[in-house]
Amino acid sequence: MQNIDYELVGEKIKRKRLEKGYTREKLAEECSISVSYLAHIERGTKSLSLETAFKISQILGVSIDYLLLDELTEYERVMSALETELIQLSAKQKETFIKFARLIIKNINDL
């Protein structure tokens, strides 16, 4: 039997919430939960009920399997974390980030 990684569940919820353009307040309201509780879910510090998982999956357009059972590879986990941060940046900030990342990759052996 596979255990649920609530930190991973929270990462996926936050990433999908940001992709869909939902604020934490709006998603919490639509799920009939408090903003504080949603923040705990996204950080993985509190578990969520099946009913809440179902509501979140319906609103974000993902399956419950995706939220609760799907495991991410290390690459996917890194990309998910980066995506979560990048979504919040302006277009100019994203361009700067990409230039900086290319510079780091080009010189990574010298670091």
Read off the pLDDT of residues 45-75 as tens digits, 9 standing for 90 and up. 999 999 999 999 999 988 887 888 766 667 7
Q: Which residues contact 90 (CB under 8 A, 6 or more apart)?
A: none
How does DSSP assign 45-83, residue by residue?
A: SS---HHHHHHHHHHHT--HHHHHTPPPPHHHHHHHHHH
pLDDT at 81: 75
Euclidean distance between CA atoms 52 and 74, whole angstroms: 27
The one-digit pLDDT tens for each residue of the chain (111 residues) are 567 889 989 999 999 999 899 999 999 999 999 999 999 999 999 999 999 999 999 999 888 878 887 666 677 677 777 877 888 889 999 999 999 989 999 998 887
The second-level CATH assignment, the architecture, of 1-71 is: Orthogonal Bundle (1.10)
Q: Domain locations in the chain?
A: 1-71, 72-111
